[in-house]
C-alpha cells in the first residue's frame, strides 16, 4: 500500500528545490545590500589606487626671493616648467617667505643668492615630508642645470618620531573611525532610524560624550604617551572631539534618511572618498585634481590639515578647516532631528483613526 502526500504535507529540506532554498536563504533585501558592498569594495580600490598610485607635483604654492632685477624672470621661468609643478610668486625677503610658510600660504620658497653659487630652499616637512622632498628634488635638478647648488632649510620640521609626517593623518583617521562606528552601533542596537526627536537627541548627546572621550584619548596617545606629535594637547583634544562628533552626527543623519544604507553612505564619504583625499600620505599638491578638490571639504582632509597646523604651524590657517568640520557637525544635528521629526509625523498619520485624520 502506497502512501500519498497531500498538498499540505510538509516536505523535508531535501525535497525542496535548490532555487527555493536559495530564495529563503538570500532575501531580495540581502541581495541589494550585498551588491552595495561589492560596489563599495570596487570604489574603495578605485579611489585609493586612483589617488595614490602616481603622485605628481602640480601648482605647489612656491615663493621666490630674489633681487628685483632677476625676480620677475625667475618667477616666469619657474611658472613655465613642464607639467606646471610650481605656482611661483615673488616674495620680498627671506623673513617674509618664512612667515608665509609658517602661515601655510606657501609650501616652500627659493632664496636666490646673487653673490654666490649657492641658493637656499625653505621647506616645511611638518606639512608633509613627501612634499618637502619633492620640492628639494625639483630645485636640486633646476639648480644643477644652472650650475648652481642649493641648501635646504626646514622652517617647520616634522618631529623625528613622526615618520613622513603621517601621525596627524592616522590620528584623524582614528577619530573618524570612532565617529561612524559609534553611530553605526547606535543604529544596530536600537534601529537605524530613531523613532522620535527625543531619541535622536539622546543619540546625538551620546555621540558628543564619545567624541569628548575619544578626542582626549587620541590627543594623549600621540602626545605624552607616544611622543609622536608636538603641539597643544588641549587643542588636539578639542579638534578630536569636533572631528569625531562631526563624523558621528553625519552618520546618524544619513541613517535617519536612508536607514541601514546610511552606514554604507558614511563609509563612502569618509573612508572611500575622504581618506585618500585627506592629504595624509601625499599632500594635496601631489594628488590628482579630483581628490585635491574634494579633500578640503571632507572631515579627514579638514582634520588632517588642522592637526598639522596645531602640531607644526602654531595653530595657523585653521579657520577654513574648523568651519568645514563645524558645518558637518551642525548639518548632522539638523538632519538627524529633522528626519526623526518627519518619521514621527508619518507614524502618527498611519496610526491615526479616520476621525482623527479628518478632524
Grid coordinates belonging to 230:
608636538
149-163, 193-207, 307-321: least confidently modelled range: 193-207
Specify the residue for cell string 590628482: 288
User: Quick one: pLDDT at residue 31?
Assistant: 82
Question: Up-side HSE of residue 320: CA atoms within 13 Å toward CB?
Answer: 13
Within 10 Å of residue 217's Cβ, how many Cβ atoms? Answer: 16
Provide, rounded to the nearest whole percent, the portion of the chain with pLDDT above 90. 76
pLDDT band at 16 (very low <50, low <70, confident <90, very high): low
Neighbour order of strands in the sheet with 149-154:
86-90, 60-65, 108-111, 118-123, 149-154
C-alpha cell belonging to residue 20: 527555493
What SS3 class is residue 148? coil
User: Which residue did the predictor score with more confidence, 102 or 8?
Assistant: 102
Instruction: Please give the biggest Cα pair distance in the chain.
Output: 116
Cα distances (angstroms) measured from residue 355 to each of 345, 351, 358: 17, 12, 5
pLDDT score of 73 more than 80 = yes
pLDDT tens-digit map of 102-143: 999 999 999 999 989 999 999 999 999 999 999 999 999 999
CA 87 to chain centre: 25
Which pLDDT band, with edges at 50, 70 and 90, does 33 fall under? confident
Decide if pLDDT at 349 tops 80.
Answer: no
Give the pairing of strands 86-90 and 149-154. Answer: unpaired
Q: Is the pLDDT of residue 358 over 50?
A: no
Mean per-residue pLDDT, 329-340: 95
Whether the per-residue pLDDT at 19 is higher than 90: the answer is: no
Cα–Cα distance for residue pair 7/100, rounded to 1 Å: 84
Looking at residue 2, what is its pLDDT?
47
Of 4 and 246, more confident:
246
Strand partners, 326: none
pLDDT at residue 359, rounded to an integer = 40
pLDDT digits (tens, 9 = 90+) for 35-71: 989 999 999 999 999 999 999 999 999 999 999 888 8
Residue 18 has pLDDT above 90, yes or no: no
Helix (H, G, I), strand (E, B) or coil at 261: helix
Residue 188 has pLDDT above 70, yes or no: yes
Q: What is the 3-state secondary structure (H, E, C) of 112-123?
A: CCCCCCEEEEEE
How far is Cα of residue 11 from the mean position of the Cα atoms in its chain?
54
CA–CA gap between residue 161 and residue 236 (Å, rounded) = 17
Average pLDDT over residues 78-99: 96
Query: What is the mean predicted confidence (pLDDT) over 196-208?
Result: 90
In 3D space, the residue among 232, 347, 239 whose CA is nearest the CA of residue 302 turns out to be: 239
Three-state DSSP class for residue 106: coil
Q: What is the pLDDT of residue 194?
A: 66
Contact call for residues 212 and 292 (beta carbons, < 8 A)? no
Least confident of 214-218, 246-250, 337-341: 337-341
Mean pLDDT of 82-106: 96
Mean pLDDT of 309-322: 97
Q: What is the pLDDT of residue 333?
A: 97
Mean pLDDT of all residues belonging to the chain: 90
Question: pLDDT-derived band of residue 352, with 50, 70 and 90 as boundaries?
Answer: low
State the cell numbers at 13: 529540506
- What is the pLDDT, as a whole number, of residue 163? 87
Is residue 357 scored above 50 in pLDDT? Answer: no
pLDDT confidence tier of residue 30, bands split at 50, 70 and 90: confident
What would the DSSP string read from start to end of 290-354? HHHHHGGGSHHHHHHHHHHHHHHSTT-S-HHHHHHHHHHHHHHHHHHHHHHHHHHHHHHHHHS-H
Summarised one tens digit per residue, pLDDT across range 249-292 is 999 999 999 988 899 999 999 999 999 999 999 999 999 999 99
Contact 107, 60 (CB under 8 A): yes
> CB–CB of 175/244 below 8 Å?
yes
pLDDT number for residue 351: 72
Amino acid at each position: 500500500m502506497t502512501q500519498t502526500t497531500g498538498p499540505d504535507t510538509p516536505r523535508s529540506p531535501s525535497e525542496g528545490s535548490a532555487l527555493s532554498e536559495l530564495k529563503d536563504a538570500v532575501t531580495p533585501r540581502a541581495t541589494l545590500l550585498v551588491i552595495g558592498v561589492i560596489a563599495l569594495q570596487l570604489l574603495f580600490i578605485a579611489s585609493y589606487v586612483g589617488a595614490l598610485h602616481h603622485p605628481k607635483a602640480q601648482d605647489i604654492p612656491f615663493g621666490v626671493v630674489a633681487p628685483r632685477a632677476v625676480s620677475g624672470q625667475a618667477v616666469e621661468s619657474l611658472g613655465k616648467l613642464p607639467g606646471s609643478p610650481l605656482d611661483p610668486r615673488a616674495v620680498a625677503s627671506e623673513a617674509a617667505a618664512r612667515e608665509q610658510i609658517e602661515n601655510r600660504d606657501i609650501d616652500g620658497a627659493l632664496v636666490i643668492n646673487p653673490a654666490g653659487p649657492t641658493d637656499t630652499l625653505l621647506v616645511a616637512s611638518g606639512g608633509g615630508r613627501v612634499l618637502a622632498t619633492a620640492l628639494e628634488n625639483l630645485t636640486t635638478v633646476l639648480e644643477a642645470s644652472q650650475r648652481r647648488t642649493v641648501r635646504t632649510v626646514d622652517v617647520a620640521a616634522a618631529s623625528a618620531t613622526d615618520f613622513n609626517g603621517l601621525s596627524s593623518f592616522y590620528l584623524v583617521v582614528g577619530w573618524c573611525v570612532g565617529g561612524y562606528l559609534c553611530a553605526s552601533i547606535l543604529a544596530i542596537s536600537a534601529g537605524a532610524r530613531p523613532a522620535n526627536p527625543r531619541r535622536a537627541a539622546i543619540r546625538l548627546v551620546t555621540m558628543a560624550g564619545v567624541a569628548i572621550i575619544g578626542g582626549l584619548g587620541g590627543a594623549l596617545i600621540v602626545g605624552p604617551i607616544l611622543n609622536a606629535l608636538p603641539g597643544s594637547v588641549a587643542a588636539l583634544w578639542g579638534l578630536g572631539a569636533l572631528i569625531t562628533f562631526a563624523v558621528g552626527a553625519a552618520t546618524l543623519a544619513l541613517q535617519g534618511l536612508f536607514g541601514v544604507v546610511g552606514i554604507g553612505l558614511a563609509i563612502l564619504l569618509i573612508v572611500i572618498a575622504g581618506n585618500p583625499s585627506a592629504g595624509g600620505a601625499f599632500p594635496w599638491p601631489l594628488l590628482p585634481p579630483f581628490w585635491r578638490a574634494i579633500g578640503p571639504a571632507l572631515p579627514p582632509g579638514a582634520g588632517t590639515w588642522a592637526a598639522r597646523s596645531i602640531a607644526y604651524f602654531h595653530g595657523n590657517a585653521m579657520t577654513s578647516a574648523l568651519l568645514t568640520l563645524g558645518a558637518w557637525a551642525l548639518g548632522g544635528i539638523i538632519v538627524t532631528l529633522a528626519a526623526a521629526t518627519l518619521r514621527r509625523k508619518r507614524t502618527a498619520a498611519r496610526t491615526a483613526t479616520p476621525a482623527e485624520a479628518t478632524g
